[in-house]
Structure 1
Amino acid sequence: MNRSLNLERPIFQQIAEKIEESILNGSLTEGDKAPSTNEIASFYQINPATAAKGINQLVEQEILYKKRGIGMFVSTGARDLLVNRRKQEFYDSFIIPLKQEAQNLNITKDELIELIEKEARS
């Protein structure tokens, strides 16, 4: 995990996102033990309660699960869950505004596809 945190965003959310990134890039796979609250707190020099809040967010989303007395582990299907959620966020954040702006500029569907393909080739 990267040690840098952005002080403009809630730290617990960034902790959750960094664990998500580890799952998405394959550093953590289904059944793997996730870093503990204390390991995260020590690594980032943050309060353990803040690290716990980020981890608990992932437990609530069923990305991680707890084995009592052992630690947190990556849930079965966690990567697929994250990919599907991120695809929907991508659609909402980029595709819908792109379509709206294309309509404002009278860009046709074919022109838009051509622009995307042009970028993909470069």
Structure 2
Amino acid sequence: MAGIINDKKPIFEQIKDWISDQIIDGTLGVHDRIPSTNEIVQFYKVNHLTVAKGVNQLVDEGVIYKKRGVGMFVAPDARRVLLASRKERFVAEYLRPMIEEAEKLGFTRQEIEGLIHDMEGNMDGE
């Protein structure tokens, strides 16, 4: 859980993203138990209601499910649900604004594709 608490996002969203990231990358699989709200509260020393808000949003989205008295677990369709949601968010938060700015600057589609290709090459060498 290290490294998720910062000032850029509300803590409940960071906890929600941390659990979601583990489901997306396969660290947590279908029907795996996720840490309890009490475990997260104790580890991060954050308010129980804050943790519960992030976890309950994942329950509402069908990503995790609760077994009363046992814990919370990854739902069967969790990864697909999360990927679909993250892709929509990526388009809205990154891709659409990037394309709008590129159009303002007069970039052609080919120039944008070239820049993306160049960036991929630079990232491979890191």
CA distance in 1, matches of 2:10, 2:53: 11
Divergent runs of 4+, >6 A? none
2:6 counterpart residue number: 6
The one-letter code of the counterpart of 2:110 is: D
Equivalences, count: 122
SS in 2 for 1:65: strand
2:36 counterpart residue number: 36
1:47 shift after superposition:
2.5
Report % sequence identity: 43
The one-letter code of the counterpart of 2:64 is: L
SS in 1 for 2:34: coil
CA distance in 2, matches of 1:89, 1:118: 24
The one-letter code of the counterpart of 1:10 is: P
Change (3 A) 1:3 1:97: closer
Does residue 60 of structure 1 match 2:50? no
The one-letter code of the counterpart of 2:100 is: Q
Normalised by the size of structure 2, how large is the TM-score?
Answer: 0.87
1:7 shift after superposition:
4.2
1:107 counterpart residue number: 107
Normalised by the size of structure 1, how large is the TM-score?
Answer: 0.90
CA distance in 1, matches of 2:52, 2:94: 31
Structure 1 unpaired stretches of 5+: none
1:49 shift after superposition:
2.5
CA distance in 2, matches of 1:42, 1:9: 20
